[in-house]
Amino acid sequence: DVKTCPSHSMMSSIVYNLDVADRLADEHVLIGLYVNLLQNNPRSCLLDSTNHQDEEHSLIARYAARLASDAQQQRVPMELPCSLDVNKQQKQLIAELESKNREILQEIQRLRIQHEEASQPPPDKGQQNPTLLAELRLLRQRKDELEQRMSTLQESRRELMVQLEQLMMLLKLEEERRQATQGPGSPRSSPSHTISRPIPTPIHSDSAGTTPTHTPQDSLMGVGGDVQEAFAQGPRRNLRNDLLLAADSITNTMSSLVKELNSAENAEKCKNIT
């Protein structure tokens, strides 16, 4: 009993000291208490080996728990800056990607605007410039006048061809009548001296003498067969030459009119293009 009481009091002191060590949470204090216990009471510890092992295991467990808690506390401050750096890098990467995305969207918008401008027809410059609009109006008016003049000349040419046809018919009838009245043995006279009715002399133009390449068949294209037959006999009659010159004059006038009309149309096209 004497031995058990000190042992009981010793165990009480050990529990108290363990409580103090637990409150201080210091592994050095725990180790010091354990060494103190072994030095002061080796026999009591040998007598109660079961309690001794339990206390030893308890001290080792507490020490291991302390070391584990210290290691975890040291690991957390080291991992915290790493996680902060990772988050910062991720935010920076996200900001860079958003900036590149905005640049790509702006480039797409610019290309879309350029494509729409290229696909649209160019605006009419005449509507923006009053001077060009007035010139275009004058050119159109000039074109209408030339077209009217050309139609008038074509009508005059048709009437002239009809008159030529009638004149050649009269010449042919007059010649047949003269031959019938004079008989077969009388010499053949020129129709220019036998026609009694007055024939209007055609007006010679300056351009008539400059077109020697026109043949009677070319100048009288579309005229009846009597006129072509009369002119096919040769240039021995003055009236025939006058008629040819008149036809050439009309042809040259129409050619110059067509050229002027084409030049006016080309000028109008150039104005529209510019």
% of the chain at pLDDT higher than 90: 2
For 77-94, the pLDDT digits (tens) are: 555 566 777 888 888 888
Q: Copy the structure tokens of residue 198.
A: 């007055």
Position with higher pLDDT, 152 vs 252: 152
Residue 251 in contact with residue 222, Cβ under 8 Å? no
- pLDDT tens profile 145-198: 888 888 888 888 888 888 888 888 888 888 888 888 876 555 444 444 444 444
Rounded Cα distance between 28 and 266, Å, is 111
For the segment 261-271, the average pLDDT, to the nearest whole number, is 75
Q: What pLDDT is stored for residue 198 in this prediction? A: 43
Higher pLDDT, 101 or 23: 101
Q: For the chain, what is the mean pLDDT?
A: 68
Most confident of 37-46, 189-198, 237-246: 237-246
Task: Report the Cα 150 to chain-centroid distance in Å.
Answer: 43
**Structure tokens given for 192:** 């220019």
pLDDT at 138 over 70: yes
Q: Looking at residues 186-213, what average pLDDT do you find?
A: 43
Is the pLDDT at 264 greater than 70, yes or no? yes
- Domain-by-domain residue ranges, the chain? 4-99, 126-273
Say what the pLDDT of residue 240 is: 63
In the chain, the N- to C-terminal Cα span, in Å, equals 130
- Residue 127: is its pLDDT beyond 80? no
pLDDT tier at 242, thresholds 50, 70, 90? low
For 57-67, what is each residue's pLDDT tens digit? 777 777 777 77
Least confident of 37-46, 91-100, 122-131: 37-46
Which of 131-145, 158-172, 227-241 is most confident?
A: 131-145
Q: What is the mean pLDDT of residues 199-211?
A: 41
Q: How far apart are CA 59 and CA 67, in angstroms?
A: 12
* 70/95: higher pLDDT: 95
The fraction of the chain above a pLDDT of 70, given in percent, is 49
CB half-sphere exposure, 133, CA atoms < 13 A: 7
- The model's confidence at residue 103, banded by pLDDT at 50, 70 and 90, is very high
Q: What does the H/E/C string look like for the chain?
A: CCCHHHHHHHHHHHHHHHHHHHHHCCHHHHHHHHHHHHHHCHHHHHHCHHHHHHHHHHHHHHHHHHHHHHHHHHHHHHHHHHHHHHHHHHHHHHHHHHHHHHHHHHHHHHHHHHHHHHHCCCCCHHHHCHHHHHHHHHHHHHHHHHHHHHHHHHHHHHHHHHHHHHHHHHHHHHHHHHHHHHCCCCCCCCHHHHCCCCCCCCCCCCCCCCCCCCCHHHHCCCCCHHHHHHHCCCCCCHHHHHHHHHHHHHHHHHHHHHHHHHHHHHHHHHHHHC
Q: What are phi and psi of 122, to 5 degrees?
A: -65, 145
Degrees (nearest 5) of the Cα angle 190, 191, 195? 135
Q: Model pTM?
A: 0.27
* pLDDT for 18: 57
